[in-house]
Amino acid sequence: MRISLFFITIILFFASCQKPPREAEILWDEYGIPHIYAQNANDLFYAYGWAQTKAHGDLVLKLYGQARGKAAEYWGEEFLNSDKWMWTNGVPARSERWSKEQVEPYKSMLENYVAGINDYVKQNPQNINEKYKIVLPVTLQDVMAHIQRVLHFTFLFSQDDLDNNKEDWNQQEGSNAWAIAPSRSASGNAMLLANPHLYWGDLFTWFEVHLNLPDANIYGASLVGTPALGITFNEYLGYTHTVNTIDGADLFELTLVNGGYEFDGEIKAFKIDSVELKIKSGDSLQTELFIVKKSIHGPVVDEKNGKGLALRVVALDASQIFKERWEMATSTNLDEFEASMKSLQTPLFTVMYADNKGNILHLFGGQTPKRPPGDYDWTGVVPGNTSETLWNEVHSYEELPRILNPESGWLQNANDPPWTTTFPVEIDPNDYPDYMSPRKMGFRAQRSARMLEDDNSITYDELVEYKFSTQMELADRVLDDLLDAASIASDKEIKNAVRVLNRWNRTTDNASRGSVLFKHWVDDMNFPDDFALQWNERSPTQLPDGLKDRTMAVNRLYGAAKEVKEKYGRLDVFWGEVFRLQRDSLDLPANGAPGDPYGVFRTSYFRPIDNDKQTLIAGDTYVAVIEFGDSIKANGVIGYGNFSQEGSIHRTDQLKLYSDKKLRPIHFYRKDVEENVVERTTF
């Protein structure tokens, strides 16, 4: 009897040590979108981490290795500058602190997300490249480090910004966003367009996912490696983002003296940290001692000729960003949504919002420093030798540019300042500090606003059509002048060029003829200097306009025509013949062009390849069009597919949709999901 009781006790003890079964399942649809259903948030995020690793495991581990500042140790010297950027900006230490600052229930949700990542690799080691397994196990600290690397030290301020001192606003990251009110919608329902366009790969990669709890149905996309959704809609509301013209970081010039720096008439000592960086070289590791100098402004990021540049970045204490993002995603009305954002944990981004009550909202989000008065160029480098330039506070939520339910019935943002988000203008820039945002409006933003201004009753299908518009706004401003000036030319080559451009429909569709010639001509011009009339904020969507020097423009047309003829054999070559979509074995015609200076809303960026052709490397990434009626209507596409893992069919299964300018249905309700399931994962 005693033996039986002993064994029963042992069995009960081991049973108590076993983790309870998880209550979650993943229904994978035909495009590799995971629809996750769980009974509680912890199991939901476990499955979320598991699913993201199935789709992007190699990339996830690589990104976490870089965020740790150990990528050179793992994979070689090519990652050394990236590691130094992490250590210079204190990411490893701050990430450890942020991890400890997480509060329940959000900490458990994050820990389960991490557990899902690690368990996927344990269960499916054959699906992960061996060289990335060195990063395992992933920790909560890795997630916190990755968030900082992406948001604070890439989007807000990156190593590349040191070269141009932020003079060229947001040239690397961009997006389009629209919110349509019932007064402008043919159905009487609010509609939302989500349309980021970033580099096709690396830390800019989107992952589309559907999260379901008994009391929540949430759909959207996150950047790979992050557990928080960036673009989201639920049964009540939705929101998207653009990279706004925020200036949330400053470079301070330091005068270096005797190992320190001048500040308020004294010499202050740097705080010095030293880091032993390991660098993989073949089968061995080399070691480099890396010194980080920290001033009262922030770390020294550059040093030459007796001067140093110190970087000060906002939101380095905003450790509750996941909490903020989850509360945004689970909001059910406008009041809850705005309340979730008021702590400003996300350091940047325009917020574009619409809901089933017909509200639309634009917020110039993020943290903007409260900068001291004075004649300083905050977009460049400011003096760091005085406390008069040193800021320590940021503007509150209530002090940020915001528009709710505008008279126009529409809101747009194409990485332009908040002043041009709708017309008639509803925010006066004179009511805000000059450093809040510049005053300008590029051609892509003008094209965006003009499409909305010209349609008083927008249907859902029209919204999709506008999203894919490849009309060149620049052509509408200068082509008539060019053709008029060139029409009197006697040269045969110019006459042929005029004939092609006269027939051109001014788009960059796959089959557009004349767009390649026009682009070559534009690339040889010097806009905006070559406009007859320059941009003016009193006519923000009509200027700039015309050609300043028509004779010179015609001469450039001759050169462009000669070049196009030599490269492609004819002047009216198809756009899609030259500009391609290439991924794995697919090679398809592309459409769209860079947003500026061409003014194309359907944004595509290319790099040269062989045979004088170009392949797309950035542009439209995740696209969603949502209508908030009695039920949700939504369609979307993610051009490079929802998987990056080698060998997956989901690396290319949406590329033709991109080429054809089409969206696919988004399966939001369980019934629709069940009808399109191709694989199930249960836990």
398 pLDDT exceeds 70?
yes
Q: What is the pLDDT of residue 18?
A: 58
Q: What share of the chain has pLDDT > 70, as a percent?
A: 96
Q: What share of the chain has pLDDT > 90, as a percent?
A: 94
73-129 residue pLDDT tens: 999 999 999 999 999 999 999 999 999 999 999 999 999 999 999 999 999 999 999
pLDDT band at 173, cuts 50/70/90? low
According to DSSP, the residues that pair with 320 across neighbouring strands are none
Q: What is the pLDDT of residue 5?
A: 55
What values do phi and psi take at 545, rounded to 5?
Answer: -160, 150
Q: What is the pLDDT of residue 676?
A: 98
Q: What is the pLDDT of residue 21?
A: 80
12 pLDDT exceeds 80?
no
Can you say whether the dihedral through the CA atoms of 464, 466, 467, 472 is positive or negative?
positive
228-255 residue pLDDT tens: 999 999 999 999 999 999 999 999 999 9
| Residues 379-404, mean pLDDT to the nearest whole number | 97
11 pLDDT exceeds 50?
no
- DSSP letter at 257 equals E
Query: Considering the entire predicted model, what is its pTM?
Result: 0.94
2 pLDDT exceeds 70?
no
Burial 372-386 (b: 16+ CB within 10 A, else e): eeeebebbebbebbe
486-495 residue pLDDT tens: 999 889 999 9
38-78 residue pLDDT tens: 999 999 999 999 999 999 999 999 999 999 999 999 999 99
Q: What is the pLDDT of residue 19?
A: 64
User: How many whole angstroms separate alpha carbon 268 and alpha carbon 256?
Assistant: 10
pLDDT band at 164, cuts 50/70/90? low
10 pLDDT exceeds 80?
no
| Residues 568-583, mean pLDDT to the nearest whole number | 97
Instruction: Read off the tokens for 338.
Output: 């705005």
Report helix, strand or coil for 25: strand
Question: If you average pLDDT over every residue of the chain, what do you get?
Answer: 95
Q: What is the pLDDT of residue 162?
A: 85
pLDDT band at 425, cuts 50/70/90? very high
Scan for tokens 């009197």, then name that residue: 488
What long-range pairs does 85-89 form, CB within 8 A, spacing at least 24?
Answer: 85/153, 85/159, 86/145, 86/149, 86/153, 87/273, 87/275, 87/277, 87/290, 87/292, 88/292, 88/299, 88/300, 88/301, 89/148, 89/152, 89/153, 89/299, 89/311, 89/313
Q: What is the pLDDT of residue 168?
A: 39
172 pLDDT exceeds 70?
no
| Residues 294-310, mean pLDDT to the nearest whole number | 97
